[in-house]
Amino acid sequence: MIGEALTVRRAFESMPLIMIEYAGSDHRVAAINAAFRRIVGREHEQLIGVPVREAMPELAGQQVFEMFDEVYATGREQVAREWRMQVSSGPGGDLREIYLDFHLVPARDEHGAVAGMRAFATDVTDRVLERQAAQVRTAAAEQRYEQARDVITSLQRQLLPPGLPVLPAARIASSYLLADTETAAGGDWFDAVPLPDGRVALVVGDVVGHGIAASAAMGQLRAVLQDRLDNSGDILTAVRAADRMARRTPAAHAATLCIVVLNLADGALTWCSAGHPPPLVVNADTARFLPSSGNAPLGTGAEYTVATDRLAAAEMVLLYSDGIIERPGREPAAATVELSQVAVDAVAGRGMDTGDLSAVERACTQTLELLVRRTGHIDDITLLAAQRRTPPPAVQLNGPAAAVTPRIARNAVTDWLTSLEAGEEDLVALTHAVVELVTNAAEHARPDAGDATVTVTADLRNDGEAQLRVADNGRWRHRTRPGDEQFRADHGFGLAMTASFAHHLDIDRSPQGTTVTVRRRLSHPARLLTAAQISHGRPGDDDKPAEVMIILEQPHAASSRIAVHGPLDVDSVEELGTELDRFTLGGTHELTVDLTAVTHLSSAAIAELYRPQRYGDGRPYPLRLYAPAGSTAHHVLSLVNLPHTTTDPDTAGDHLDRAG
Class of CATH domain 12-123: alpha beta
71 class by beta-carbon count within 10 Å (0-12 exposed, 13-18 middle, 19+ buried)? buried
Residue 600: is its pLDDT beyond 60? yes
Q: Where do the domains of the chain lie?
A: 12-123, 160-388, 395-524, 543-657
pLDDT of residue 573: 82
Angle between helices 494-501 and 632-639 (to 10 degrees): 120
Q: What is the DSSP string of 311-359?
A: --TT-EEEEE-GGGTS-TT--HHHHHHHHHHHHHHHHHT-SS--TT--H
Mean pLDDT, rounded, for 276-298: 91
Residue 152: is its pLDDT beyond 70? no
CATH of domain 395-524: 3.30.565.10
CA distance 266 to 647: 52
% of the chain with per-residue pLDDT over 90: 41
User: What is the homologous superfamily of the domain 160-388 according to CATH?
Assistant: PPM-type phosphatase domain (3.60.40.10)
pLDDT of residue 614: 44
Question: Which band of pLDDT confidence, cut at 50, 70 and 90, is reported for residue 478?
Answer: low
Residue 206: is its pLDDT beyond 50? yes
- 237-250 pLDDT, tens digit each: 999 999 999 999 99
3-state secondary structure of 433: helix
- 387-432 pLDDT, tens digit each: 999 999 999 999 998 899 999 999 999 999 999 999 988 998 999 9
Q: Are strands 170-177 and 527-529 parallel, antiparallel or unpaired?
A: parallel
- 481-509 pLDDT, tens digit each: 444 444 444 445 667 778 878 889 999 98
Question: Which band of pLDDT confidence, cut at 50, 70 and 90, is reported for residue 147?
Answer: low
Question: Which band of pLDDT confidence, cut at 50, 70 and 90, is reported for residue 450?
Answer: low
Per-chain mean pLDDT for the chain: 83
Question: Which band of pLDDT confidence, cut at 50, 70 and 90, is reported for residue 650?
Answer: confident
Question: Which band of pLDDT confidence, cut at 50, 70 and 90, is reported for residue 611?
Answer: low
Residue 556: is its pLDDT beyond 60? yes
Q: Which fold has domain 543-657?
A: Transcription Regulator spoIIAA (3.30.750)
